[in-house]
């Protein structure tokens, strides 16, 4: 039965959601208009002097056929719930295309011609008539969009979807796979596809990447077209890339980002790709926001800090961020709720079987007042100014992706090493939301230790410094000698 009343009634869950949103709004500081006016001079020439990741080596005809056959067998033999459709008979592309043979999974809220863009819903929708521009760009570069990837419904939640089979974390089936780009992360981690596209509104690329031990990156806001996607929040949505390592993420982003931005061009004062492995890399200054880090499980914070300290080219600098992590997350969530209520209204009204969590968010978000939403936008600008101030002294900001260990399925309370208990999913976006609210590029780099679940180290770079971020991530990945994912990685990098 279709529900037509608007606004949606406040059932107990929706009322609790509204109470949470109103409480979050009440915590926002009464800031005046921010004076942030975009990028300001930073230290980024140092990052652009770092070595670039190695290039992707395109496949020849024989390698392409073998690669697709292996991918098909792996998908057939692996019950992950990650894929909602697949097309392993896709035609080969031009011989000399830069990404020839690279298999791509596409989150099911991004249009792929001939396939329905259901965005995690049970509803029947007609097939997309055209590719989203990001998919077109990858096809033109020789990549093969071979699969659609499962997601939480309408990209709202961090785990689970009642309309889809469980998406199983291939590293540990008792752990959640994250969300909302859960299928994209699992498809990459399980080796079903080489890379995958996702979307990120509060951490939805970086959180599942951290949970599944892969790389997840969202670029600067607006760097990649969102045309052809099901929008959740136009102020916060980003398309991102999930890959097994920085090199493959770089290969895809380099195509999707297009020419350097003015910000990158202004700081690219040398024409070479960085020092050779025999040369010393320039030291980078990594900001460690101590007030934010204090909110994390000390075990998670220590493991992330150990990665930074182990990198001989990284100088870790403790910095102060006057805007608290909780305020940044509240700011982002208030904007998300208000915009989602408007944009998801028709979808929720048309489907009585909508995930109750989505329905609660829309019902609560529709009741936020203009003043509450305006306060969130003011704080969003204030947060941008705080990051700009920090980047005058450091090259990057680093935090954990999640403040806790990856939760087990059904777990809502996460004991920390210091005796505190962190809530899930309430704490999921504590550190990731700020990059959405500010639009800054951010990346999740897996931190791997023997007999321990993977966690994610988040790196945030200044506005427009997407390629600089990737170079820095490659440095950390290389110098800390993070374990690779075995045969599939070397094969994709051309060691065939």
**What tens digit of pLDDT does each residue of 365-374 get?**
999 999 999 9
pLDDT on residue 454:
85
pLDDT on residue 282:
59
Torsion of CA 182, 122, 165, 172, to 10 degrees: 10
Can you tell me the mean pLDDT for 433-441?
98
CA 273 to each of CA 44, 260, 298: distance values in angstroms, whole numbers, following the listed order: 14, 14, 37
pLDDT on residue 483:
45
205 domain residue, yes or no: yes
Residue 46 has pLDDT above 90, yes or no: no
CA 443 to each of CA 165, 246, 405, 473: distance values in angstroms, whole numbers, following the listed order: 28, 10, 18, 8
111 domain residue, yes or no: yes
292 domain residue, yes or no: yes
Residue 227 has pLDDT above 60, yes or no: yes
Residue 247 has pLDDT above 70, yes or no: yes
Residue scoring higher pLDDT (260 or 50): 50
461 domain residue, yes or no: yes
**What tens digit of pLDDT does each residue of 168-208 get?**
999 999 999 999 999 999 999 999 999 999 999 999 999 99
6 domain residue, yes or no: no
Average pLDDT, the chain: 88
SS in 3 state form for 155-173? Answer: HCCCCCCCCCCCCCCCCCC
pLDDT on residue 417:
94
Question: Out of 27-31, 343-347, 416-420, which region has the weakest mean confidence (pLDDT)?
Answer: 27-31
CA–CA separation, 289 vs 327, rounded Å? 14
pLDDT on residue 9:
86
- Catalytic residue positions, numbered: 107, 180, 204
pLDDT on residue 261:
59
- Residue 403 phi, psi dihedral angles, 5° rounding: -80, -5
DSSP assignment of 324-363, as one string? -HHHHHHHHHHHHHHHHHHHSHHHHHT-TTS-HHHHHHHH
Specify the number of domains making up the chain.
1
5 domain residue, yes or no: no
4 domain residue, yes or no: no
Residue 278 has pLDDT above 60, yes or no: no
CA–CA separation, 397 vs 300, rounded Å? 16
52 domain residue, yes or no: yes
Distance, C-alpha 222 to centroid of its chain:
15
**What tens digit of pLDDT does each residue of 63-95 get?**
888 988 998 898 887 789 999 999 988 876 777
Find the CATH number of the domain harbouring 135: 3.90.1300.10
Quote the domain boundaries for residue 114.
12-492
The fraction of the chain above a pLDDT of 90, given in percent, is: 73
- Preceding peptide of 159 cis, ω within 30°: no
Can you tell me the mean pLDDT for 134-140?
96
Q: Are 431 and 401 in contact (CB under 8 A)?
A: yes
């Amino acid at each position: 039965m279709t529900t037509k009343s608007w606004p949606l009634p406040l059932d107990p869950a929706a009322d609790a959601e509204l109470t949470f949103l109103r409480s979050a709004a009440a915590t926002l500081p009464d800031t005046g208009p921010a004076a942030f006016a975009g990028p300001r001079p930073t230290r980024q020439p140092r990052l652009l002097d770092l070595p670039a990741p190695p290039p992707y080596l395109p496949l020849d005809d024989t390698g392409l056929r073998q690669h697709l056959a292996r991918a098909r067998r792996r998908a057939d033999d692996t019950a992950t719930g990650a894929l909602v459709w697949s097309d392993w008979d896709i035609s080969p592309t031009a011989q000399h295309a830069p990404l020839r043979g690279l298999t791509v999974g596409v989150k099911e809220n991004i249009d792929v011609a001939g396939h329905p863009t259901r965005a995690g819903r049970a509803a029947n929708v007609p097939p997309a008539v055209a590719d989203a521009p990001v998919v077109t760009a990858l096809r033109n570069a020789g990549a093969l969009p071979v699969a659609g990837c499962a997601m939480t419904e309408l990209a709202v939640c961090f785990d689970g979807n009642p309309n889809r089979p469980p998406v199983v974390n291939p590293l540990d089936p008792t752990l959640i796979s994250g969300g909302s780009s859960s299928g994209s992360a699992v498809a990459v981690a399980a080796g079903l596809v080489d890379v995958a596209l996702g979307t990120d509104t509060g951490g939805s690329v970086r959180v599942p990447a951290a949970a599944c031990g892969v790389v997840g990156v969202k670029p600067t806001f607006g760097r990649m077209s969102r045309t052809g996607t099901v929008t959740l929040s136009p102020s916060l949505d980003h398309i991102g890339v999930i890959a097994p390592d920085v090199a493959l993420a770089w290969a895809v982003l380099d195509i999707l980002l297009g020419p350097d931005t003015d910000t990158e061009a202004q700081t690219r004062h040398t024409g070479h790709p960085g020092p050779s492995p025999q040369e010393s890399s320039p030291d980078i200054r990594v900001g460690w926001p101590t007030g934010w880090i204090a909110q994390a499980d000390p075990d998670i914070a220590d493991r992330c800090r150990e990665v930074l300290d182990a990198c001989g080219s990284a100088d870790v600098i403790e910095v102060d961020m006057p805007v608290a992590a909780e305020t940044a997350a509240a700011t982002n969530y208030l904007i998300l709720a208000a915009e989602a209520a408007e944009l998801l209204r028709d979808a929720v009204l048309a489907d009585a079987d909508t995930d109750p969590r989505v329905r609660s968010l829309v019902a609560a978000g529709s009741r936020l007042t203009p003043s509450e939403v305006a306060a969130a936008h003011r704080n969003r600008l204030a947060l941008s100014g705080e990051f700009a101030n920090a980047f005058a002294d450091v090259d990057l900001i680093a935090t954990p992706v999640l403040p806790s260990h990856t939760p087990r399925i059904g777990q809502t309370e996460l004991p920390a090493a210091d005796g505190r208990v962190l809530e899930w999913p309430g704490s999921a976006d504590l550190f990731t939301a700020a990059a959405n609210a500010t639009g800054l590029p951010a990346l999740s780099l897996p931190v791997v230790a023997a007999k321990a679940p993977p966690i994610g180290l988040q790196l945030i770079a200044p506005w427009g410094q997407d390629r600089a971020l990737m170079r820095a991530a490659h440095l950390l990945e290389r110098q800390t000698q993070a374990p690779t994912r075995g045969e599939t990685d070397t094969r994709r990098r051309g060691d065939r």
